[in-house]
Chain A
């Protein structure tokens, strides 16, 4: 089971800078609840998941807000809230706004 929540993980991202700045989150799973990010891509996800995400209007470039990570990850897109398991959140790459 996954234990790391909100970006408490050591920065694995090469873009992450040292110092006082918080490291740029890499996957949706590492985004703190309450933050808003842009979806970069999720092309490494299984086709079925990709289609589910797209069907709910989640595509690269779109802006989502992370609501919570427990017991499942919940994000808000437009005015819909969508929940899915951590495995899905882990394969969605995001970038800061």
Chain B
């Protein structure tokens, strides 16, 4: 096991990431938590040699609801922690204390950073943090992470941190059950009382932890105890436990807050804007503005200007000719040099694509997304779109991966982890793969449709949206499980912090280079091999009857579809070449674009689906998508012919 760590734990959006940056050096390592796809950031503590700081995903409470929250629970249960540092929002003391109680019960050394002190003060709140510290038995340090205020005192207290002195009693039936539980629970890194409480409230992580360590007899005894207790209580056990904690938190808040808000916080501009952004009417123009801004920054600037500069000028005219020349001079016209710089060359196709085309697009996208994330706009977007997503059996939270999908479907597939149920994650993964074009593809598709007519663009958008809704509607009814309801916190709108956005963007880019670029290279290598052993030409030929007979496209389009698998936009680019050669009619363009949009996600996203949802699911999705795309394309061809298109 690595060095001891200090875990930052807290509600979503309380400033953990900013505080993390203050506590660690420059270099942070973002990686997936073992066995999950949830990102965890680790960095060396700048104030304590040999100690790591872990930034965990925000939790609203334990028991953990989403995959993200479960990772936090696992860090608490499994990691060799030196200390827990709870980061709390000073202006929401009640809610913060609810978690403090839970963490303090675990018995590990801990401290509480009361962050966002500036916002609390602006609302007229005065908190007696010494009294609070005495009552909770943990050091309490007021901080303003964004300004670096209170950090010195915080690090000092973290160096000397000791286990908390905290004890609160629950209603008698729970105390009794706890006593019995504690005598049979396997010993754990957290106090058995805390583990018992987690078990009683049916926390999935604690449940698994116990299952792995207790024998069957103990397990059934534990379970029996819990059922007996549930029977004796009127309400769910978890609710009774939380109510007891809330009562304690309420008392505490009343005794430590010395002055209450007089000014109504709603008068602030941020609050007003926040209200408008989630307004059923005003929210829409704001949304349109946000989308337009993103389109301009990612679509026009990123996918247009930057890609042009990098792909055509830098790679096309300088780097690639140089690399090709170098390879040919050193290796001659061999198979290896073809593997490197040939038609399906790992460098000329794979690497160039990943670095010159996708990288600038995802970079601009990650910046835009980071700004939205940091500003607190995203939960409002979820509120605004909730109704729409209800139609396809999802809730507004699904808007985040879907919007992210317009940037990079691979990345978006990974982000489905923020969704609460397995069912939701599967549904969104399917829809992303089927009907959400990524920015690279979108660019080419829009360009080609625009060359036909605005009506053509409408047909394309209409058909793709219709398929998205129809498939979503159907899948939501066929998949087992219920739709999960939307429950979001709407944080105040804030001016995004440049450093926070930069750090998040850099971490995501690092992820992209480490995780996605290799997938492109592997994909290219596979394509190269298929081409060499003759499968590729064979596939193109086999596809021709479908392409020309059913879809009504010229036979050459078959190759474009195949290429679309490696690079979503390549498929579209392939068709673009045909159009330029005057081989495509307007109708064929619309049919081709619809089919290629629905057809396949790129190879990287298929691999990501396999990693996230399993190989079987990935294959299942492909088997569903291929025929569906062709079916829709053919049907559209016939419909448009009937309507007199040619």
Residue positions of A touching B, CB distance < 8 A: 43, 47-52, 54-57, 59-60, 62, 67-68, 70-72, 74, 77-85, 87-88
Contact = CB atoms under 8 A, between A and B. Distances in A.
B12 to A, nearest CB: 11
Contacts of A77: 94
**10 A-B pairs with the lowest CB-CB distances in the bound complex, closest first:** A55-B61, A47-B236, A54-B242, A70-B280, A81-B490, A79-B91, A57-B95, A50-B239, A57-B94, A59-B246
A97 to B, nearest CB: 16
Contact of A57 (B119, B120, B246, B490): B246
Contact of A54 (B120, B246, B491): B246
Contacts of A78: 91-95
Contacts of B485: 49, 84-85, 87-88
B586 interface: no
A85 B486 contact: yes
B384 A71 contact: yes
B265 interface: yes
Interface residues of B, number: 48
A69 B563 CA distance: 49
Contacts of A60: 243
Contacts of B396: 72
B486 A84 contact: yes
Contacts, number: 113
A48 B485 CA distance: 10
Given A68-B279, A80-B489, A83-B486, A56 B60 contact: yes
Query: Interface of chain B, helix or strand or loop or mixed?
Result: helix
A57 B239 contact: no
Nearest to B274: A81
B238 interface: yes
Interface centre among A54, A74, A82, A88 (most CB of B within 10 A): A54
Given A78-B93, A83-B278, A71 B489 contact: no
A47 B279 contact: no
A56 B236 contact: no
B334 interface: no
Interface in B456-506: 485-491
Contacts of A47: 236, 238-239
Contacts of B234: 43
Contacts of B247: 59
Interface string B376-396: 000100011011000000011
Contact of A71 (B274, B275, B387): B387
Nearest to A65: B266
A35 B249 CA distance: 25
Contacts of A67: 275
A20 B564 CA distance: 69
Contacts of B261: 79
A56 B95 contact: yes
A83 B488 contact: yes
B142 interface: no
10 contacts: A43-B235, A49-B487, A54-B61, A57-B94, A57-B95, A57-B249, A59-B243, A71-B280, A78-B94, A80-B92
A32 B397 CA distance: 26
Contacts of B488: 82-84
Given A82-B489, A85-B386, A51 B94 contact: no
Given A51-B242, A54-B246, A60-B243, 8 more contacts: A50-B238, A56-B489, A57-B95, A68-B275, A70-B279, A72-B396, A78-B95, A80-B89
A44 to B, nearest CB: 10
Contact of A83 (B95, B119, B379): B379
Contacts of B89: 80
B98 interface: yes
B61 A72 contact: no
Contacts of B65: 48, 52
Interface string B77-103: 000000000000101111100100000
Contacts of B243: 54, 59-60
Contacts of A68: 275, 278-279
A52 B489 contact: no
B63 interface: yes
Contacts of A88: 485, 487
A47 to B, nearest CB: 4
Contact of A51 (B92, B236, B274, B383): B236
A81 B246 contact: no
Interface string B594-617: 000000000000000000000000
B74 interface: no
B267 to A, nearest CB: 14
Interface in B236-272: 236, 238-239, 242-243, 246-247, 249-250, 261, 265
A73 B621 CA distance: 36
Given A50-B235, A51-B242, A57-B246, A81 B489 contact: yes
Interface in B380-432: 383-384, 386-387, 395-396
A83 B383 contact: yes
Contacts of B120: 79
A51 B384 contact: no
B123 interface: yes
